[in-house]
Structure 1
Amino acid sequence: MRNVAVVIPTLRRPGSLARALRSVFAQTGALDRVAAVVVADNDPQGSAADLVAQLRAETALPLIYAPAPTPGVATARNIGLTHTDAALVAFLDDDEAASPRWLSSLLNAQETTGADVVFGPIRGRVPPDTGWTTDYLERFFGRAGPAETGLTHVTHGCGNSLMVRATALPGDAPFDTAMNETGGEDDKLFTALQLRGGRFGWAADAWVDEFAPADRATLRYALTRAFAYGQSPSQMAADRGDVFGVVKWMLVGLVQTAVWGVIALGLTILRRPSRAEALDRAARGLGKVLWTRGFEPKLYGKAMLSRAPR
């Protein structure tokens, strides 16, 4: 029964895209369930087309090239979904490489828990020259969770996830393309699913490695993204019309910014590597306070395209 598709959005990362695809081709225990592997190419110039054509010779799986020329990962994911009608959809980012039993672990966890969305753990990998920030950056680009597979109340990003299409991905374009530049489209999707009574699961053995490129494996980039992550609770409360929720999260953010800001200052004076984690928490707190439009950092879409090598 071929009832699962793997969707990989990509933007000008031929080397890492090839690694991600080959990791899917090498899956064990689940390839007979794969209806399609869809590469959603977010480059207006269609730079991934030739690579996808070349890699078709390496697999018997249906490998589909889906042009998604409007920059933005929400657009890329939506277009990827239009190229398959599979009942289950696994998302893998183009800078990730899946372990051999990744897909079977996600599928087993979904069947065990009955969850609408299942997440798996991620090992963050960074270049060797990141110095005192290495441990922090590996944690930042990674994802930890429970040691055992089961239901969870914690949601994560789309990379390394499996979704039940009928319940988790409603409509023709479930990801909000208004968030192409800022990100957070997955948070919005999962918040709406929670309000509908959706369930989330954790697949403890569904490991992937995420390889942060040099231009992203920096403290500045990580803290900018941490600020953006911090904005999400306040923004989601605002989207629900929950004024008290917005006020609550802004107050939480003020305390978080003040406490962790002082801790970060002390650790910086002492030149402790742990100052990176303190700065991260302060940045997330500040995001909860400065959450309105105009403060949203542009990390994706056209901004990402401008940084990507040609």
Structure 2
Amino acid sequence: MAVEPAKDLAVIIPTLRRPESLERALRSVFAQTKALDRVRAVVVADNDPDGSAAPLIERLRHEAPVPLTYAHAPIPGVATARNVGLAATDAALIAFLDDDEAASPGWLAALLSAQAKTGADVLFGPIRGRVPKGTGWTTAYLERFFGRTGPTETGLTNDIHGCGNSLMVRATALPDDAPFDTAMNETGGEDDRLFTGLQARGGTFGWAADAWVDEFAPADRATLRYALLRAFAYGQSPSQMAADRGDRAGVVKWMLVGAVQSGLWGLASIAVAILRRPNRADVYDRLARGLGKVFWTKGFEPRLYGAAMLKRTV
């Protein structure tokens, strides 16, 4: 008699007032060609105080090939939404998909295969960035910005990425009831903080080369201004992580690195702006990341999520 596979996996999708893209994300999970027999639940963590995703979940529940769970996270914030999603399931393995992403048909199988091969506590996969028409000369930059690349082969990695398109072993990567720091609700970086702690505990990270998803940047995010604000926030991360570890020498090192980068890329930015070089967005991005390493303390953190994001969707 064949032994049925354990239903040990939950897919968590945080969402905030994006019904069309949320439905696309959900249907991409429903369409997985393998590994659905491992799925205990797909959890939608609705971060809208009004609970606007509930009707969609009710509509899709009857046609979902796996259990579909609605979890309301009424306090706006990306960390809160992730914590509420986790609280709605006791699955041993957690896959995160963002509501503006769509998974390829072999996504879950590729993540699970990579975890079995590497034994990593956290797995990341590649992302193809998609932006709306009309982004002009910034299109190629924005597609790279919203995308994610890595090695062509599956294996362990020292590189840390964001939660979107990831698989985590709950016992090691997500040991607490609320592992995502809600102090990062509006700035983001809750995943960096989580992974820094895991790294300090000796945790391991892996890359699932075939676990592809597409990320469809909405129009309000597919702008140079938004991308550079996020690039600045990404630049803050090394300095902030060193500070979280109590590594003062590391903070000084990253601030010095950032100062050098800011000077070099600042001059380059002036030159490419005058010449209107087609790659100037990439130069501006490097400048923003350098500045972020220098100006990493509270008060300089961009408000990109939580209540700030809620205002943009009104």
TM-score band, normalised by shorter chain: over 0.9
C-alpha distance in structure 1 between counterparts of 2:141 and 2:269, whole Å? 14
Aligned partner of 1:114 in structure 2 is 119
Alpha-carbon offset, residue 277 of structure 1: 0.4
Aligned partner letter, 1:292 = T
Which of the numbers 276, 281, 289 marks the counterpart of 1:284?
Answer: 289
Alpha-carbon offset, residue 239 of structure 1: 1.3
Aligned partner of 2:218 in structure 1 is 213
C-alpha distance in structure 2 between counterparts of 1:235 and 1:155, whole Å? 14
Instruction: Answer yes or no: is 1:239 the counterpart of 2:244.
Output: yes
Q: Which runs of 5+ in 1 are unaligned?
A: none
Q: After the TM superposition, which segments of 4 or more aligned residues of structure 1 sit over 6 Å from their partners? A: none
Alpha-carbon offset, residue 57 of structure 1: 2.0
Instruction: Answer yes or no: is 1:88 the counterpart of 2:88.
Output: no
Aligned partner letter, 2:10 = A
Which of the numbers 90, 100, 103 marks the counterpart of 1:98?
Answer: 103
Which of the numbers 126, 135, 140 marks the counterpart of 2:140?
Answer: 135
Identical counterparts, % of pairs: 77
C-alpha distance in structure 2 between counterparts of 1:172 and 1:113, whole Å? 26
Query: What SS does the aligned partner of 1:58 have?
Result: coil
Which of the numbers 144, 168, 172 marks the counterpart of 2:177?
Answer: 172
C-alpha distance in structure 2 between counterparts of 1:25 and 1:122, whole Å? 19
Aligned partner of 1:203 in structure 2 is 208
Deviations 1:65-104 (A, max 9, x none): 0000000010000000011100000000000000000000
Aligned partner letter, 1:218 = T
C-alpha distance in structure 2 between counterparts of 1:218 and 1:270, whole Å? 21
Question: Is 246-255 or 235-244 further displaced after alignment?
Answer: 235-244
Q: If the length of structure 1 is used for normalisation, what is the TM-score?
A: 0.99
Aligned partner letter, 1:15 = E
C-alpha distance in structure 1 between counterparts of 2:52 and 2:112, whole Å? 31
Aligned partner letter, 1:127 = P
Alpha-carbon offset, residue 238 of structure 1: 1.0
Deviations 1:4-29 (A, max 9, x none): 00000000000000000000000011
Which of the numbers 193, 203, 208 marks the counterpart of 1:188?
Answer: 193
C-alpha distance in structure 1 between counterparts of 2:17 and 2:179, whole Å? 24
Aligned partner of 1:159 in structure 2 is 164
Alpha-carbon offset, residue 308 of structure 1: 1.2
Query: What SS does the aligned partner of 2:164 have?
Result: coil
C-alpha distance in structure 2 between counterparts of 1:279 and 1:223, whole Å? 7
C-alpha distance in structure 2 between counterparts of 1:18 and 1:176, whole Å? 28
Deviations 1:3-55 (A, max 9, x none): 00000000000000000000000001100000000000000000000000001
C-alpha distance in structure 1 between counterparts of 2:176 and 2:71, whole Å? 19
Which of the numbers 11, 16, 27 marks the counterpart of 1:6?
Answer: 11
C-alpha distance in structure 2 between counterparts of 1:60 and 1:200, whole Å? 30
C-alpha distance in structure 1 between counterparts of 2:214 and 2:76, whole Å? 25
Q: Which runs of 5+ in 2 are unaligned?
A: 1-5
Q: If the length of structure 2 is used for normalisation, what is the TM-score?
A: 0.98
